Amino acid sequence: MLTTALAFLVTIGILVVIHEYGHYRAAVACDVKVLRFSVGFGRVLWSRMRGETEFVISALPLGGYVKMLDERETPVDAAERHRAFNRKPLRQRAFIVAAGPAANLLLAIALYAGVNWAGVQELSPWMAQPQPGSLAEEAGLQAGHQVMAARESRGESGPADWTPVRSMSDLQWLLTQSALAGRDLELQVARRDQAAAEPHGASVLRLSLSRLSASDVDARLMDRIGLTGPYGEPLISDVVPDGPAERAGLQAGDRVLRINGEVPRDAAALRRAIRESQPDADLRPIVLDIERAGRALTLEVTPVRKEVQGQMLPRIEAAIGSAPAMVTVRYGAWEGLTRALDRTWEVSVLSLQMLGKMLIGEASLKNLSGPLTIADYAGRTAELGWVYYIGFLALVSVSLGVLNLLPLPVLDGGHLMYYLFEAITGRPVSDLWLERLQRGGLAIMLLMMSLALYNDLARLMGAH
What is the per-residue pLDDT across 182-191, written as a single tens digit (0 to 9) for each? 899 999 999 8
Q: Is residue 397 a contact partner of residue 17, using CB atoms and an 8 Å limit?
A: no
- CA end-to-end span of the chain: 22
DSSP 309-333: TTEEEEE-SEEESPPPPEEEE---H
Domain ranges in the chain?
A: 89-119+332-464, 120-230+324-329, 236-320
Same fold, 120-230+324-329 and 236-320: yes
What one-letter code names the amino acid at 314? P
Q: What are phi and psi of 343, to 5 degrees?
A: -65, -40
Specify the pLDDT at position 107: 96
The stretches in the chain having pLDDT less than 50 are 196-197, 199
CATH architecture of the domain 236-320 equals: Roll (2.30)
d(CA 141, CA 134): 10
Q: Is residue 339 a contact partner of residue 116, using CB atoms and an 8 Å limit?
A: yes
Q: How many helices (H) and strands (E) does the chain have?
A: 13, 15
Q: What are phi and psi of 382, to 5 degrees?
A: -65, -35
Q: Is residue 34 a contact partner of residue 66, using CB atoms and an 8 Å limit?
A: yes
CA distance to 15, 380, 381, 382, 460, per residue, from 376 (Å): 17, 6, 9, 10, 9
Q: Answer yes or no: CATH 2.30.42.10 is held by domain 120-230+324-329.
A: yes
d(CA 24, CA 35): 10
What one-letter code names the amino acid at 96? I
Specify the pLDDT at position 286: 92
Note the pLDDT tens digit of each residue in 148-167. 999 988 766 667 789 999 99
Q: List helix spans (H) across 30-165.
A: 90-118, 135-139
* Element spanning 300, H or E: strand 295-301
d(CA 282, CA 26): 72
d(CA 76, CA 85): 11
Note the pLDDT tens digit of each residue in 292-307. 988 999 999 999 888 7
CA 115, 116, 117, 123 dihedral sign is positive
Q: What are phi and psi of 71, to 5 degrees?
A: -65, -20
Helix (H, G, I), strand (E, B) or coil at 2: helix
Q: Is 415 exposed, middle or buried (0-12, 13-18, 19+ CB in 10 A)?
A: buried
d(CA 7, CA 378): 5
Q: Is residue 416 a contact partner of residue 437, using CB atoms and an 8 Å limit?
A: no
Residue partners of 204: CB distance under 8 A and separation at least 6? 186, 187, 188, 189
Nearest to 392 by CA among 230, 169, 175: 169
Nearest to 271 by CA among 259, 257, 280: 259
Q: List helix spans (H) across 226-325.
A: 244-248, 267-276
d(CA 280, CA 273): 14
CA 122, 145, 217, 335 dihedral sign is positive
DSSP 190-209: EEHHHHHH-TT--EEEEE-G
Instruction: Point out the residues that are catalytic.
Output: 20
Q: List helix spans (H) across 67-89.
A: none
Specify the pLDDT at position 153: 82
The C-alpha angle with vertex 454 and arms to 412 and 458, in degrees rounded to 5, equals: 135
d(CA 385, CA 41): 31
Specify the pLDDT at position 201: 61
Specify the pLDDT at position 219: 74
Specify the pLDDT at position 442: 81
